[in-house]
């Protein structure tokens, strides 16, 4: 199979997951699409550098670097401060109805990126410490530490309704008491 066919296959296999990671990183649909698209273009040209049989961590590493680069560029143009989607209707709002799922997801997205990405990769994509370490370019010990701190922060956010300092209580508290 040639590089073109390989990329075509990878688009079918990994587009959704890569988009998901990009979205949790940049928190913007357009940006996420752009990052995934660029990731595939870069992967195409450097496909010879892939070692191992599972390309997903390798693609994810390219993607995370691309997201970082994209956010740096974007931050020069406008504020990228996260605005929770609870208050403004969007296509996601139309599509997604489950408030608890959404609230937890938004709580994860409200974490700083250094804590957010380990949580996303570990819990949402079932990657192991070594894979996360390779993708994020940090040591395995740092991955463990960040995951631990991320969990603490997440608990705090979910319990106290802290989302980017908005002070608004999470819907979770209204709809899903802890004894559920």
Partner 1 sequence: MDLDSLLSLGKRHQRIIEDMALRGHANMKRRILDQLNEPSPVHEAYWIPKTSRSSHKRRMGLIGAFCVLPLLFGFAGYKVYEQWSGTTVAKSNQNEGPASLWADPTYLNYELGQPNTEMYSLSEASIIAGIPLHAPVHISSWKNIFSRGLVFEQKGYRLLKNHKLKLVHIGHTPLIFVDIYENSKGQRIAVSQQIQSMMTIANRQLGKDHHSEVNPTLEVGADWKVLTGFPNGLVYWVSGNWSDLPGKQAFQGQYENVVGYIRVPNGAVKEVDIGEYGNVDKSQLLAFARAYMK
* Binding footprint of partner 1 on the chain (CB under 8 A): 4, 7-8, 11-12, 15-17, 19-20, 23-24, 29-30, 32-33, 36-37, 40-42, 44-45, 91-92, 94-96, 98, 100-102, 104-105, 107-108, 119-120, 123-124, 151, 154-155, 158, 172, 176, 178, 180
Shortest Å distance, C-beta 98 to partner 1: 7
Taking alpha carbons only, the member of 109, 107, 95 closest to residue 23 is: 109
Is the Cβ–Cβ distance between 80 and 68 less than 8 Å? Answer: no
Nearer to partner 1, 102 or 136 (CB): 102
Closest distance to partner 1 from the beta carbon of 41 (Å): 6
**Residue closest to 32 by CA, chosen among 6, 4, 64, 58:** 64
Smallest distance from the beta carbon of 139 to partner 1, in angstroms?
Answer: 23
| List of residues 6+ apart from 10 with CB closer than 8 A | 40, 43, 55, 59
In whole angstroms, the minimum distance from the beta carbon of 23 to partner 1 comes to 6
Distance CA 35, CA 69 (A): 9
Complex with partner 1: residue 8 or 139, whichever CB lies closer: 8
9: helix, coil or strand? helix
């Amino acid at each position: 199979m040639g590089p073109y066919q390989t990329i075509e296959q990878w688009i079918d296999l990994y587009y959704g997951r890569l988009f998901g990671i990009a979205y949790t990183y940049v928190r913007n649909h357009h940006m996420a699409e752009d990052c995934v698209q660029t990731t595939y273009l870069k992967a195409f040209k450097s496909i010879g550098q892939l070692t191992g049989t599972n390309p997903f961590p390798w693609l994810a590493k390219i993607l995370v670097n691309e997201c970082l680069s994209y956010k740096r560029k974007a931050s020069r143009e406008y504020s990228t401060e996260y605005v929770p989607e609870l208050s403004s209707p969007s296509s996601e709002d139309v599509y997604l109805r489950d408030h608890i799922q959404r609230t937890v997801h938004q709580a994860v997205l409200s974490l700083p990126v250094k804590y957010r990405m380990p949580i996303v990769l570990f819990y949402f994509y079932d990657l192991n410490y070594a894979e996360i370490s390779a993708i994020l370019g940090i040591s395995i010990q740092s991955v463990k530490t960040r995951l631990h701190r991320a969990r603490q922060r997440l608990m705090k956010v979910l319990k106290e309704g802290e989302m980017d300092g908005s002070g608004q209580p999470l819907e979770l508290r209204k709809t899903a008491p802890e004894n559920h």
